[in-house]
Structure 1
């Protein structure tokens, strides 16, 4: 009777979660998960203490360290694999579209997926918790640090699972029916993202920032970590401050990813994010990164230059990702030409309008942060001409990329995003490789700087004064090529408006 009441309550709260639990909590699967967890714990104890039948008190610390460091990798990797694989199979069977038509809200369905699909993993990891806590207490680890490990794991899972779910929802697996390999590859791709990118970043952040105040008395997870400043304020010297800052960053990131995920679930054919959200994301990431890159002293020139390089690379990568995320496809552009008025407000804010003006606004936001930073650390004042050429080259390159991508998006082809990636790869990777093969390098042939600049690599000529005039020539070539791309895109939009 009690189980029936609990099942009814769970079904009323989240029907999708109940569906996932019923499909996975079979006696044989639960026994397999429990057995696997117990065997792994026994093997860990045997490996740590190979010459004794029981662990010595001094050997409990390695057990705690191994479990602590492995928790995010195991949780993120296997959980991501199961979620992406489940979504891929739902798409192939056509049940994902059926789920979209259910009266349950999207957040409830996706939350049910995240809680229910990896439930066997949660059971296996839950059995590790007693050993982990016991090993930590026996080795002298403070209870707040042990609690913090699990506290940080919850938003970490939310970020990781949201990221791979977005990748799965934005993928094209729904068109690959009766093919098992693409789903398996997509699942391995999600696991790779979690294991090679998210997990190391999560672990490094927590060790260096979140847990540092709790590790100050000993070298539990490595050597003593340096003090980290954010806008000259130390954020990893007091436990309350480090945890508050981390939870604020993780909470904001989770909120943004959830909004993107809900949009991808409700509107699979729309752009990944809206233009308003993209402006806010760019501004927040730029400010967050700038806070860490401010040098403690202006005399530390090396730190300032490294910070400038990192901020420049981060800005370019972020602009590229946001450009792909806000690009409307052909059907959206058709709807915009038919039903929306071509006003400035629509061009800036409407998710169905072409993204070119929005990309210009993104560049303005980025330069508002980047340009004052270059002048503040002295690069802009010492090399004014080179800095101006660098900014122009980067701006032109992003606009060329944006126009290429939007032109592909407006074209009637089967997979526009794959085609856009191919074109960008040809322009930004293959063409420079050809220049290298032909040995057309600015240090040997200064005139080749024009070609390097045309393909977006004008920053290589900072220390070569003879190549600077050719960089300017390359920027002029960028403008001419951009004008040609804009003319082609205007013709494409004219055809869309005419209905041809």
Structure 2
């Protein structure tokens, strides 16, 4: 029967058969099962350390006589009578709770609940961290041995190969977890946890695995310059992310009424804490119950919250898998196309703004919370746009092919603007401008609404709508200048152009503000200088409208000169050898 099953797997997915055949050997399986059983025994025995013995205190949690002695103990502590306190403590030390007065049913229920929650946390860390490490390490080994190129040349579809990797590489990790599932289910049932909640937990765990594993594969394919350090870097990043998010979930004062709630949805902790409130020993369910998305009360019931969590992970997992299929056969291709970048940016804006527009009805509370939200919005979008500049900007050879052979392709019937918007080998400046427009449109709509309907808000009183619009224009122009500089560097013939482009943009973006801060040139004393930095918003409140407009014209002039130079470089790159010879170049 097992042979037939293996044969069917080989017929259905040869890559999965290859991965399972190399890993599911008797010794490896025995080690995985033994490790799982040992872990279960340790967890069970660890929880037994507080088993009530003959010296169980009268004021302990599970003693039914606690209600008789605990009020007296609290009363003595309030009176601060140390003599009576010592006498009472001496009485408690000589008298213990009788065995027939211990609530054994409650103790075993809590005991099984602790085991269930402990295993739930172990499952998350084991699957996500260890699985991420194994997937990235497998890609590194395949790349080192040269077998990855043979896999690329195989007639299997990209979906079949990637599915085989996702399921087969962490198969031993799956085996460790599956061997512990019976105890996990038994503990949950004994603790009185609703079975539908347990199934919801498994669904969230499976969706998280698909998302993180897909991200791990994408990271392994596009980060070849890290050499053998990739597995540690990838799994370490996942471990750090899980630790940070579990701290947020454990903090009862943590507020979900901001755009960071979207990032926290990529970790399973908040939803799991909603399902099992005792997970972090801090009941943070009230925060999650107030969670809204475009005024839709997600936290009102389990179905809406879990469904939205799964939808968020599912959409991004699908997008990452599409990117993997795109760059798997051709490692030199960009991980996403220009058209896909528009969808990505638009979806990110929907998610970010959906969690940022809560408490609209209470204007004072809304603006008090939305002002810091603007900082998160700026950070998210700045990182997103910079990432797209690095991903979408083509190198010299691609631009040369596009400029030289465009007239020979069917796409020549299209206008140059259509090529700049959609063609992959064309310069990315128009695509970056479109993505910036997608980012800016919701902000402009929000500025318009607040200026019209809330004339007494902090925006109008502290900055002014016109200054904000000029500040948006300044931000767009400076980012377009950075994108043009990056494209110009990538068109050079120098080696390691990507390194120089990233380094140059990093220097011009963050070094000037650091120098200004180090020299004590503050934005309120010298606002004009800060208007030309990556963060002009710091000086907008302290600058006049005319000054901001003049700074915008200056940046627009620089952008026009850079684009004139870029157009010239593209034309030169697109010349044929004969044209260059006739022009004596």
The equivalences for 1:487-498 within 5 A come to: 487-498=564-575
Equivalent residue number for residue 299 of structure 1: 364
Equivalent residue number for residue 136 of structure 1: 188
Say whether residues 1:19 and 2:18 are aligned partners: yes
Equivalent residue number for residue 443 of structure 2: 370
Show CA shifts across 1:366-417 (max 9, x none): 1111111233345654412330232012101221221122223323344333
The equivalences for 1:172-251 within 5 A come to: 172-173=224-225, 182-197=226-241, 200=245, 206-208=268-270, 212=274, 214=275, 222-226=283-287, 227-251=290-314
1:491 Cα deviation (Å)? 3.1
Equivalent residue number for residue 334 of structure 1: 400
Say whether residues 1:345 and 2:418 are aligned partners: yes
Equivalent residue number for residue 483 of structure 1: 560
Match of 1:411 among 478, 492, 502: 492
Q: Distance in 2 between matches of 1:183 and 1:99?
A: 20
Show CA shifts across 1:285-314 (max 9, x none): 111221221132223220232333333332
Q: Which runs of 5+ in 1 are unaligned?
A: 174-181
Change (3 A) 1:391 1:198: farther
Change (3 A) 1:169 1:377: same
Say whether residues 1:452 and 2:530 are aligned partners: yes
Equivalent residue number for residue 323 of structure 1: 389
TM-score by length of 2: 0.77
Change (3 A) 1:415 1:89: farther
The equivalences for 1:356-367 within 5 A come to: 356-367=429-440
Show CA shifts across 1:138-182 (max 9, x none): 222111111111111112111111112111111234xxxxxxxx4
1:427 Cα deviation (Å)? 1.1
Q: Distance in 2 between matches of 1:32 and 1:216?
A: 34
SS of the aligned residue for 2:574 comes to helix
Q: Distance in 1 between matches of 2:116 and 2:171?
A: 24
Change (3 A) 1:497 1:428: same
Change (3 A) 1:218 1:416: closer
On the 8 A contact 1:210/1:242 being kept in 2, the answer is no
Change (3 A) 1:219 1:454: closer
Change (3 A) 1:453 1:142: same
On the 8 A contact 1:72/1:203 being kept in 2, the answer is no
Say whether residues 1:31 and 2:20 are aligned partners: no
SS of the aligned residue for 1:464 comes to coil
Larger Rg: 2
Q: Distance in 2 between matches of 1:133 and 1:464?
A: 61
1:80 Cα deviation (Å)? 0.8
Equivalent residue number for residue 387 of structure 1: 468
Match of 1:117 among 165, 169, 175: 169
Change (3 A) 1:198 1:329: farther
Change (3 A) 1:56 1:243: closer
TM-score by length of 1: 0.89
Match of 2:211 among 148, 159, 169: 159
Equivalent residue number for residue 178 of structure 1: none
Greater mean alpha carbon deviation, residues 39-48 or residues 91-100: 39-48
Q: How many residues align?
A: 486
Say whether residues 1:73 and 2:136 are aligned partners: no
Q: Distance in 2 between matches of 1:352 and 1:125?
A: 45
On the 8 A contact 2:273/2:279 being kept in 1, the answer is no
Equivalent residue number for residue 176 of structure 1: none
Q: Distance in 2 between matches of 1:258 and 1:31?
A: 33
Q: Distance in 2 between matches of 1:202 and 1:457?
A: 26
Root mean square deviation, CA, Å: 2.7
Change (3 A) 1:202 1:102: farther
Q: Which runs of 5+ in 2 are unaligned?
A: 54-106, 246-262, 407-411, 452-457, 581-585
SS of the aligned residue for 1:236 comes to helix
